[in-house]
Amino acid sequence: MMVQPSEARKLCSRSEWEVVGSSLYPIVETLSASDLKSRLERTRELYRNGKDLVSLKHSDSRKRTSRRKNTMFAEAVDRFRAVLKLQKNTSDMQPVSKNFDKKMVEKESIYNMDALQGRDDQELGSRKSQFLSALTDYGQQQMCKSGARGVQGHVASANRRQQGRRDTKNR
C-alpha cells in the first residue's frame, strides 16, 4: 500500500522530506539526471539505515512506524529509478528525419484539432445537461425530505412581522 504524502510528511524529518518530496511526480520529472542520481543514492542510504533500525526498536508501534517509513523510502527509490529510466530511453531515441512533408503534417493536425474541438463541445454540452438534471433531482429530494413546498413567489410571501414571529417560534 502506497504511503500518502500527508502521512509521509508526518513520518519524515525535514531533510528526509526534502528527498521524499522531490520524488513525487510533478517535481521529479523536472530534475536533471545528475540530481536524480544523487537523490536516488541518498534515498537508498536512508532505506538501508531504516532497515537496520527496525530490529533495534522494542515497541511494536515504533517498529510499525519504522517499517512504514522504510516502505516510503522504497517507493521513493522506485520513482527515482523509473524517471531515470524514462530519461535514458528518451535520450536514446533517434531524431525524426527531415525528409517529411511539413505541409501534410500541418493539414492533418488541423483536421485532428477540429475533430477534437467538436468532440469536446459535445461532451461539454452533455456534461452540463447531466449536471443540471442531477441538481434538480437533488433539489426535489431535499424538498421531499424536509416536507417543504416549492417557492411560490409573492402569493405565499409574508411581511416582516409574520416572518419574525415564525422565526422566533422554535427558539
Q: What does the pLDDT look like over 104-126, one tens digit per residue? A: 555 555 556 666 666 666 666 66
Global pTM exceeds 0.75: no
- Enter the C-alpha cell of residue 32: 536533471
The alpha-carbon radius of gyration of the chain (Å, integer) is 30
Phi, psi (deg, nearest 5) at residue 127:
-65, -40
Q: What does the pLDDT look like over 19-69, one tens digit per residue? A: 988 888 888 888 888 999 999 999 999 999 888 888 888 888 888 888 999
What secondary structure letter does DSSP report for 31? S
**Alpha-helical segments (H) within the chain:** 5-11, 14-21, 25-28, 33-56, 60-92, 102-146, 160-169
